[in-house]
Amino acid sequence: MVTLRKVELDEAGLLLDFSKKTFYDFFAHLNEPANIEAYALVAFTPQKMQEELSNPNSEFYFAMLNGQVAGYLKLNFADAQTEFRDEKALEVERIYVSGEHHGKHIGRQLLKFAVDTAINRQLDYVWLGVWEHNYKAIGFYQHHGFEVFSSHEFLLGDDRQIDLLMRRML
Ligand SMILES: CC(C)(COP(=O)(O)OP(=O)(O)OC[C@H]1O[C@@H](n2cnc3c(N)ncnc32)[C@H](O)[C@@H]1OP(=O)(O)O)[C@@H](O)C(=O)NCCC(=O)NCCS
């Protein structure tokens, strides 16, 4: 059975290893190696992970299966959001399930947790950014009631990519 639990500050190393591995697993083969490396050098450092975990307006959760990390979720509230910083919104900044566990409804459980968290806090909507070519994730979000409402540029190394911004009103 899959259970969700909050990631603690002293688990920064485990979170760093899992997030780096899943990022490479899903996106390395779709992008120039130099761009992936440039992004990872900034995004996946022990210091950055500590900072993110210490932010009172960010929360990380692990999805645990048989004692192993099978997925994770990063939620941003208020000024921790990467855009808009709307007090009445929740951003799902990251949601990843490791490849061997895809299709087992772990992603659904993580996304439902995000939506339930926003409902409990009486927020107006949940939003996220997703690479325009990440068709699987876009389909997954649409399946769960998210709609595209805008887009923005995302710099991966020196590659200017387009992220679709999707939201689900509550
Ligand atoms: C996107 C991701 C989190 C989905 O997690 P998952 O555990 O594989 O998905 P689930 O098994 O929970 O699927 C949940 C539901 O969505 C549906 N679904 C999944 N992918 C879909 C797609 N491409 N189109 C339509 N529906 C889809 C499933 O049929 C299932 O439906 P149900 O709940 O009605 O049975 C996972 O594929 C992942 O980690 N991808 C790589 C990282 C990534 O791209 N993250 C998002 C970055 S923005």
Residue 108 Cβ contacting ligand 1 at under 6 Å: yes
pLDDT at 73: 98
User: In 3-state terms, what secondary structure has residue 29?
Assistant: helix
Instruction: List the chain domain ranges.
Output: 2-169
141 as an active site residue: the answer is yes
Could you give the CA distance from residue 158 to residue 156 in angstroms, rounded to a whole number?
6
CA 107 / ligand 1 centre spacing (Å): 6
Q: Whose CA is nearest to atom 16 of ligand 1?
A: 140
Eight-class DSSP state of 55: -
pLDDT at 120: 98
pLDDT at 86: 98
Bridge partners (DSSP) of residue 127 are: 91, 167
> pTM for this one?
0.96
For domain 2-169, give the CATH superfamily: Gcn5-related N-acetyltransferase (GNAT) (3.40.630.30)
1: closest CA among 73, 66, 61, 93? 66
Name the burial class of residue 95, with classes exposed (0-12), middle (13-18) and buried (19+) by CB atoms within 10 angstroms of its CB.
Answer: buried
pLDDT at 166: 98
Per-residue pLDDT of the chain (170 residues; tens, 9 = 90+): 999 999 999 999 999 999 999 999 999 999 999 999 999 999 999 999 999 999 999 999 999 999 999 999 999 999 999 999 999 999 999 999 999 999 999 999 999 999 999 999 999 999 999 999 999 999 999 999 999 999 999 999 999 999 999 999 99
